[in-house]
Amino acid sequence: MSAAPEVNEATGPTSTQIGAIAECLVTAGILEASGGRLSPFKPIADDDGLDLLLFDKLTRRPIPLQIKCRRNFDDPKAQTVQFDVRLKTFAAHEDGYILCIKLDGTAIGALWLVPAKDLRSIAKATPTHLVVTPSAKPTSQDRLSPYRLATFAEVADRILDPAKA
């Protein structure tokens, strides 16, 4: 029998664990905010960039959602956070979204909901990723500002009525 992995409490959760925390928060937040209309499903394997599939119970429409999460600012003064979307797993689903989250512990610090069809036009492309680096400052006017939302109620509302974007 192998020994349990060593845990270093000083470093906190791993990036995989932080991603799982974010997915749980998003699942609960969107389910509650939509009044149960959006029913989240988690794929058994999410190696294709699909973290949740939201099923709209009213329209019967499936809505792919990829979740990107960070806890720390890359530039604390500018309050910017870099989110990388792997090209290998990115699919510009017509109805899909990328939800970028800056977490403060288990609290939501900032949210950006980007329609997947818009990502290429606002992201910096590298050979392997599409990169967005929004500022979490409420007064920032960067290219991600139109996608910044404050609550899961706003996220659910925008998903249910994309014309509000």
Q: Do the domain assignments include residue 5?
A: no
Which amino acid appears at position 62 of this protein?
P
Distance between CA 65 and CA 49 in Å, rounded?
8
Number of alpha carbons in the 13 Å side-chain half-sphere of residue 140? 21
Regions of the chain where pLDDT drops below 50: none
C-alpha 79/C-alpha 51 separation (Å) is 26
Tell me whether residue 6 is in a domain. Answer: no
**pLDDT score for 49:** 74
Range of 151's domain?
Answer: 15-164
Q: Dump pLDDT digits (tens) for 89-119.
A: 787 777 899 999 999 988 999 999 999 999 9
CATH for 117:
3.40.1350.10
Confirm whether 93 is domain-assigned.
yes
What pLDDT was estimated at residue 75?
A: 87
Which residues have C-beta within 8 Å of that of residue 13, sequence separation ≥ 6? 21
Is-contact 18 103, C-beta < 8 A? Answer: yes
In percent, the amount of the chain with pLDDT more than 90 equals 64
Please tell me the number of Cα atoms within 13 Å of 106 on its side-chain side: 8
| 8 is a domain residue | no
CA 88/CA 91 separation, integer angstroms: 9
DSSP label at 75? B
Whole-number pLDDT of residue 50: 86
- Within-domain flag for 70: yes
Q: What is the pLDDT of residue 10?
A: 65
* Residue 96 in domain: yes
Q: Does 10 reside within a domain?
A: no
Here the tokens at position 25 are 């928060």
Domain assignment of residue 56, yes or no:
yes
The edge-to-edge listing of strands for the beta sheet with 129-132 is 83-86, 129-132, 124-125
